[in-house]
Structure 1
Amino acid sequence: MKQSTCITVAAINMLLAVAAGAFGAHGLKAMLSAELLAVWQTAAHYQMAHALGLFGIGILMAQWSDATLLRRSGMLMLSGIVIFSGSLYALALTGITWLGAITPIGGLAFLLSWATLAWCAYRRQSL
């Protein structure tokens, strides 16, 4: 993922996270149980937090000459958003509980993304 792509994807995810949060708070409030509404809000929260992470990665790509690990971190973060938040949005809307089994895969992608970013920063520090 290039720097401009990373920042573009981050901005789109921020837009979607804000829209999803507002839709959950206003549009779905009467349609979903409190439990499923909380699932929806968790999805929006994690999408927003990790979209900010994508912004950070995009900014770092401009600062650091070797962006290979940063690109991997960004792809993992985007994968985490799609799998983690996407599965929770789908679970909240459909009530299909087996979708919750997919969610930890997205969580693992988030963890690997942050670990990759930490490793990248550590390697840069030791140069």
Structure 2
Amino acid sequence: MQHQPLKINTCFIQAAAFIGLLSIILGAFGAHGIKGRVTTEAFEIFETGVRYQMYHVFALLAVGILWAFSPRPNCLKWAGCLFIAGILLFSGSLYLLTYAMGTANPDLFKYGVITPIGGFCFIAAWILLIVSFIRKKA
């Protein structure tokens, strides 16, 4: 009997690796580049962006690996895409907000309204991750 390799989704695993790398770089930049140059509030906002980015890297890794076991891979695909969208919108808007606070650029504060949209993407992705493992009726 020949062993069949698991059909994991390497695209999501590669995306997780790249976004994880960015998370480490941004975390180091925050600790060594902007800490002390922005207000404590702005730094905490930046850290929240990095933290949520890294949390969802692990979710993306899970999507890529669990792909081989899901009875509903289409739901899993959407979950992965929404995790990526959530990272871009949620964490990205927090990075912009930190920059706006550091430069006192009022034009950039309007991007803060994007943050809840990113949060909604995260919530929808987690729901789809659950749904992707609900067994189909025979």
Structure-to-structure mapping, 1:79-94, within 5 angstroms: 79-94=85-100
Conservation of the 8 A alpha-carbon contact between 2:71 and 2:136:
no
TM normalised by structure 2 equals 0.84
Moved over 4 A (4+): none
Indicate yes or no: 2:135 matched with 1:124.
Answer: yes
Of stretches 23-32 and 104-113 in structure 1, the one that deviates more from structure 2 is: 23-32
Higher-Rg structure is 2
Partner of 1:50: 56
Write the distance in 2 (CA, Å) between the matches of 1:93 and 1:75: 26
Report the CA distance between 1:102 and its aligned residue: 0.9
**Is the deviation greater in 33-42 or in 90-99?**
90-99
Q: Which amino acid aligns with 1:99?
A: Y
Residue type of the alignment partner of 2:127: A
Are 1:28 and 2:34 matched, yes or no? yes
1:94: Cα distance to partner?
Answer: 2.1
| Equivalent-residue separation in structure 2 for 1:64 and 1:120 (angstroms) | 6
Alignment of 1:1-80 (within 5 A): 3-64=9-70, 66-80=72-86
Query: Do the aligned residues in 1 keep the contact of 2:70 with 2:132 (CA within 8 Å)?
Result: no
Residue 31 of structure 1 deviates from its aligned partner by: 1.6
1:108 to 92, 111, 120: 120
Give the superposition deviation at 1:40: 0.4
Task: Structure 1: give runs of 5+ residues left out of the alignment.
Answer: none
Unpaired runs of 5+ residues, structure 2, are 1-7, 102-107
Provide TM-score, normalisation by structure 1: 0.91
Secondary structure of residue in 2 paired with 1:63: coil
Instruction: Encode CA deviations 1:25-72: one digit per residue, 9 max, x unaligned.
Output: 111012211100001000000000001100000001123364111100
Task: Give the structure with the larger helix fraction.
Answer: 1
Number of aligned pairs? 125
Give the fraction of aligned pairs with identical amino acids, expressed as a percent. 38
Measured on the aligned residues, the alpha-carbon RMSD in Å equals 1.7
CA 1:126/1:21 → structure 2, altered by over 3 Å: closer, same or farther? farther
